[in-house]
């Protein structure tokens, strides 16, 4: 699986574990349901969509789970399906948990602006929207034509 996990230090692993434990204290009301899933799956929620949430485990695994029991429901954790989902988790996650920003890849010198981003990064963020191509990284590798 190509979009499986990220590598990080034991410091970050501990930080992820701490945030998973803190999640229900941090959001006792507004994210009660998510906090339950975070605990159940030992996964720190990073990006929330209509019916799914993508999160990170303390071993660096990026996984998702269903959050709407009436629509597109499934049990347990799934791999993410695309690099858009994978990078969106890192980029959006770092907004809420700045210690994760070290996981966002640096833009290579030969990278080009993402052709799928229909707005500037600032506008996407302001509107709470995420580009499906690379999340809101906003760039793609110059020679990369893979889907
Ligand atoms: Zn894009």
What separation in Å is there between the alpha carbon of 130 and the centre of ligand 1?
Answer: 8
CA-CA distances (angstroms) from residue 16 to 62, 64, 107, 145? 12, 16, 25, 33
Average pLDDT in the 117-145 region?
80
- Ligand 1 centre to CA of 72 (Å) is 25
Quick one: pLDDT at residue 89? 95
Residues 43-65, mean pLDDT to the nearest whole number? 95
Q: What is the pLDDT of residue 147?
A: 53
Q: Is the per-residue pLDDT at 86 higher than 90?
A: yes
In this prediction, residues 12-36 reach a mean pLDDT of: 92
The average confidence (pLDDT) of the chain is 90
What are φ and ψ of residue 144, in 5° steps?
-95, 110
Whether the per-residue pLDDT at 26 is higher than 70: the answer is yes
Whether residue 126 has pLDDT greater than 80: no
Q: Which residues surround ligand 1, an ion (CB under 5 A)?
A: 114, 116-117, 131, 133
The per-type count for the chain, helices as H runs and strands as E runs, is 4, 6
Largest CA distance in the chain: 46
pLDDT tier for residue 145 given thresholds of 50, 70 and 90 = low
């Amino acid at each position: 699986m190509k979009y499986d996990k990220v590598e990080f230090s034991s410091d970050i692993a501990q930080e992820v574990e701490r945030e998973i434990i803190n999640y229900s204290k941090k959001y006792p009301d507004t994210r009660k349901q998510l906090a339950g899933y975070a605990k159940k799956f030992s996964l720190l929620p990073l990006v929330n969509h209509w019916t799914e949430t993508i999160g990170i485990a303390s071993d660096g695994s990026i996984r998702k789970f269903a959050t709407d029991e009436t629509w597109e429901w499934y049990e347990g954790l799934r791999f993410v399906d695309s690099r858009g989902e994978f990078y969106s988790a890192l980029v959006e996650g770092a907004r809420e948990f700045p210690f994760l920003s070290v996981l966002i890849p640096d833009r290579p010198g030969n990278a080009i602006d993402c052709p799928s981003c229909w707005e500037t990064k600032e506008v996407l963020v302001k509107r709470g929207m995420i580009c499906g191509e690379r999340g809101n990284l906003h760039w793609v590798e110059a020679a990369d034509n893979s889907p």
